[in-house]
Chain A
Amino acid sequence: MTELREFPAPDAHVPDLGPTSRTFEEVAAPDRVSAPAPVRLPLRTRLTRAAPPYLFLLPGLALLAVWVYRPLVTTVQLSFFSWNLLPTSPARPVGFDNYVRLFTLPEFPAALGRTAVLILGLLPFTLVVPTVVGLLARRVRGRAATVYQALVFAPMLVAPVAGAAVWQWLLDPGGGLVNRVFGTTSNWLQEPGPAQLAIIVITGWHVLGFATLVVAAGLAGIDSEYSAAASLDGATRWQTTRWITLPLLSPTLSFLLLMTLLLAAQWSFPLVNTLTHGGPSGATTNVYYLLWDYAFGSFDAGLGAAAGMIFFLGFGLLALLLVRLTERLSFHDS
């Protein structure tokens, strides 16, 4: 691997060349030192030789600069202004007013709390069930396991809006399959508690296949010799799973935990946007829906930007903490 990355490696070679040439060509040394031209030429060569990787990165970096990092900076600026999105009315600088206002609004902490509930509610779908499925799939052999995997993966391919449409039909209080099969009478999407539950279950249904696939990839990467050795030593199946497989799977599981933490509100966004519009009475308004609502519902660009910055910093910090924690706690192969 190191050899591979040394391929044209201009940076690594040039500094090496200096001392070596000096020690080997001591006779010619005065000549070299006196002439400045050769010094400039290697520099230019060095530049042209160092350029390729940066040139290959350029298209991607340029796109990200324009469409991700530039708007991020603009949003930081915008968060200190008051603007109603109309090109005709100028933005007015207001200092930290937006941030102050944000923390006095009751819906802000409420949306944070609901996002926490959403994340907790999704963990069974992104961690528990995929792990169980992954472990069980090892007992089931052959074609059947492929079929099960394909079935679990299928919902991931259904477009979020189409998923929303079919679930709206399944949960319809009048003719919906759920109420008629289970004998319930809930108006699922119009009552606060059931609406949040429905959003969690539908989002979970969408991401379950993805998480299962990630766990399968993680399990495939675990060397089977460890568990073979353990069972030779007389470990039971459960002991092998508990003390060998699960610890080795922990990096995969923490990756899924990180994704759930960062993306749960994103995953549920199209569902909230089409099914409940954040309602009933705000019961399904999570942080990203709140952002959307500030910008395009109440046309309060500054407040939306301020909320966006808070969430960006908060989630970034959370991700950093989690990565640090994982590095300390994870078990690694080798």
Chain B
Amino acid sequence: MTRELLEVLTPVHTPSSSAVAHRESRLRTAAGHLVLGVLGVGCVIPIYWLYATSLRAPEDVYSLNPFPWPLSGASYAEAWDAVDMPRLLLNTTIMAAMIALGQLLTGLLAGYAFAAWRFRFQNALYLVFVATWLVPFQVTMLPNYVLLNQLGTLNTVLGVIIPNLCSALAVIMLRSHVRSVPFELLEAARMDGRTAWSTLWTVVVPNLGPALAALGVLLFVNAWNEYFWPALVLQRTNAVLQLGLRSFMGTEGNDWGPLMATAGSACLPVLLLYLVLQRRIVDGFVRSGLK
């Protein structure tokens, strides 16, 4: 899709035969490269500096040398000693995976309903999903906190997962994805006497493979980076990465090397996932029917 996208984005401009116009167009291209390059590098510098600092030897932490040399794993060793990193990684992975799967499932069911049927209160019910964007977390946190307390799931990862099992984003995206499944397929399944339920799993889902994967990754990343709700529910245990990281941040006298190593560890899985699946993520996002 990135490639398709670029093809659409490439100028329709027809190269003029005159040398002046040609030089001008080259100049414009160069200016484009310059602006985009500076912006791109500017955006990545903080991320680069994060990893550069984390890989310096403890005595070099304040060095301005852009290349961390000699490389040292001392900061990582210290960070992994101070924080139970494997447990945090495991907890965070479980939390993010469960939330992403749950949101995919509820989103798929709701998106299928909105895309394949026409029914009473359809628009009103769709609005019920979209309007959740108007309700800020801070308005619902107290009653939800009390309910989780009554359910006895406070300070457990389960307490983070349950309230986040339905997301408007997943419903909106999957509605437009299901709509893109050819109607003939749904009709043929109905002729075959399949129920709506089996049509969903045998016809719709196999056709949505790549889109589901892309959306799943996006939801996983969102859940991984989630901060508010875990901060509230896991006040006593700090059982996920974002909170372990926060406990490392003091207001004064930060130990920058280990702090950067912790932050780097917390971001690494997501950044790797992005590097591997970059095209798919962008694809799933651009095609999500934001238009």
Contact = CB atoms under 8 A, between A and B. Distances in A.
Nearest to B181: A4
Contact of A301 (B142, B224, B286): B142
Interface string B28-49: 1101110111011101101101
Interface in A107-165: 129, 132-134, 136-142, 144-155, 157-165
B118 A11 contact: yes
Interface of B: 2-6, 8-14, 28-29, 31-33, 35-37, 39-41, 43-44, 46-47, 49-50, 53, 61-62, 64, 105-107, 109-110, 112-120, 122, 125, 128-129, 132-144, 147, 162-166, 171, 179, 183, 186-187, 190, 196, 221, 224-225, 227-228, 231-232, 241-243, 245-246, 248-249, 254, 256, 259-260, 262-264, 266-267, 270-271, 274, 278, 282, 285-288, 290-291
- Per DSSP, chain A at the interface is helix
A3 interface: yes
Contact of A140 (B29, B116, B264): B29
Given A162-B263, A228-B12, A75 B139 contact: yes
Contact of B46 (A54, A85, A149, A205): A205
A8 B183 contact: no
Interface string A233-274: 000010000000000000110010000001100100110011
A167 B9 contact: no
Given A50-B119, A308-B136, A220 B46 contact: no
Interface of A: 1, 3-9, 11-12, 50, 52-54, 56-57, 59-61, 63-64, 66-72, 74-75, 78, 85, 129, 132-134, 136-142, 144-155, 157-170, 172, 175, 177, 180-181, 205, 208-209, 213-214, 216-221, 224, 227-228, 231, 237, 251-252, 255, 262-263, 266, 269-270, 273-274, 288, 291-292, 295-296, 301, 304-305, 308-309, 311-312, 315-316, 319
A169 B261 CA distance: 12
A236 to B, nearest CB: 11
Contact of B224 (A53, A151, A159, A209): A159
Contacts of A69: 128, 135
Contacts of B14: 231
Nearest to A295: B142
B40 to A, nearest CB: 3
Given A3-B183, A75-B139, A288-B138, 16 more contacts: A5-B116, A5-B118, A8-B116, A53-B119, A67-B162, A67-B164, A85-B142, A151-B43, A155-B44, A159-B267, A162-B242, A166-B47, A169-B254, A237-B13, A273-B231, A274-B246
A157 B221 contact: yes
A137 B9 contact: yes
Contacts of B264: 162
B138 A140 contact: no
Contacts of B5: 216-217, 220
Nearest to B291: A221
B97 to A, nearest CB: 16
Most buried by A among B9, B49, B274: B9
7 contacts: A66-B147, A136-B35, A146-B6, A149-B2, A151-B40, A158-B47, A160-B242
